Amino acid sequence: MHRGKGMKFVGDSRISAERKPNIPKDYSEYPGKTEAFWPNFLLKEWLVGAVFLIGFLCLTIAHPSPLERVADPTDAGYIPLPDWYFLFLYQLLKYSFASGPYTVIGAIVIPGLAFGALMLAPFLDRGPERRPAKRPVAVGMMILGVAATFFLTWESVATHDWEAAAEQGKIKAEADIDKESEGYAIYQEQGCISCHGDNLEGGAAGKALVDNGLEPDAIADIAKNGQGSMPAGVFKGTDEELKVLSEFISGVTSK
């Protein structure tokens, strides 16, 4: 047999002899029900994500995050406030059934059930239908979750004392305070520190006393008779102690 004589070349019909571009399949027979993931669906997701990202960046430039004073672990009157995306959980912990002895229910059990149901939604409702009316389980769970989140967030914003929060977080000038003086000892003894802070910087329950601009007589009158949210009769010491205290507070100035 001569070389090459009788040899035949067999082609596999399963392999295309021509290079074809990556064209998605034709889904025209299922209009509005499905589409190619690449590039149709993924491109839409990227476009929507880019729009939101640019909008968020513009918002951060126009309204930068406000700064508060340095955190003070000894300030027992400070009322913390979480970021906006945790306000609904913050509000949930204010209710009696989810706070106090039932904190575990509000902090772990209820959020765990909610997020667990969200994760299990694809397994609880595996139907092929896309119309909301024909997927009551998934749609009902989603509507309940969104409604609860919006309601709790709104309640948290509406009931929060924003004036007190702004006052307690305000950056204030440091003061020259002689903590070894008799006036500061009386200030501590009378419990003024619980509302006005150990550096007289103020807090959620009391105003700042630094650079108050008041004369000692006016301070003594407020200590005995009260003013605004401060009730009368807070000071329990003698007249001599009141004089020392009022002179001490009147002389507190910023550095």
- Residues 130 and 196 placed together within one structural domain of the fold: no
Which residue segment(s) compose the domain that 95 sits in?
Answer: 82-159
What are the helix (H) ranges across the chain?
Answer: 42-62, 87-92, 103-104, 110-124, 136-159, 162-169, 182-189, 193-196, 216-225, 239-250
Q: Has residue 243 been placed in a domain?
A: yes
Q: Has residue 46 been placed in a domain?
A: no
Q: What pLDDT, on the 0 to 100 scale, is given for residue 109?
A: 93
Q: Has residue 22 been placed in a domain?
A: no
User: What average pLDDT does the segment 104-119 reach?
Assistant: 89
- Is residue 28 predicted with pLDDT exceeding 70? no
- Residues 90 and 144 placed together within one structural domain of the fold: yes
Bigger pLDDT: 162 or 95?
95
- Residues 154 and 191 placed together within one structural domain of the fold: no
What does 44-110 look like in DSSP terms, one character per residue?
A: HHHHHHHHHHHHHHHHHHHSPPPP-PPP-TT-TT------GGGHHHHHHTTSGGGSGGGHHIIIIIH
Q: Has residue 175 been placed in a domain?
A: no
- Is residue 30 predicted with pLDDT exceeding 70? no
Q: What pLDDT, on the 0 to 100 scale, is given for residue 8?
A: 59
Q: Has residue 87 been placed in a domain?
A: yes
Residue in 204, 138, 192 with CA at minimum distance from that of residue 167: 204
Q: What is the pTM of this model?
A: 0.50
CATH code, 245 = 1.10.760.10
Residue in 224, 225, 227 with CA at minimum distance from that of residue 207: 227
In contact, 190 and 184? CB cutoff 8 Å: no
Least confident of 33-37, 88-92, 187-191: 33-37
- Residues 99 and 137 placed together within one structural domain of the fold: yes
Q: Has residue 51 been placed in a domain?
A: no
203-219 pLDDT, tens digit per residue, is: 666 777 777 778 888 88
Domain count within the chain: 2
141-180 pLDDT, tens digit per residue, is: 889 889 999 999 999 999 988 887 777 777 766 667 777 8
CATH code, 131 = 1.10.287.980
Q: Has residue 26 been placed in a domain?
A: no
Take residue 62 and report the two structure tokens written for it: 């126009």
- Residues 246 and 213 placed together within one structural domain of the fold: yes
* 1 — pLDDT class (breaks 50, 70, 90): very low
- Residues 153 and 194 placed together within one structural domain of the fold: no
Bigger pLDDT: 233 or 156?
156
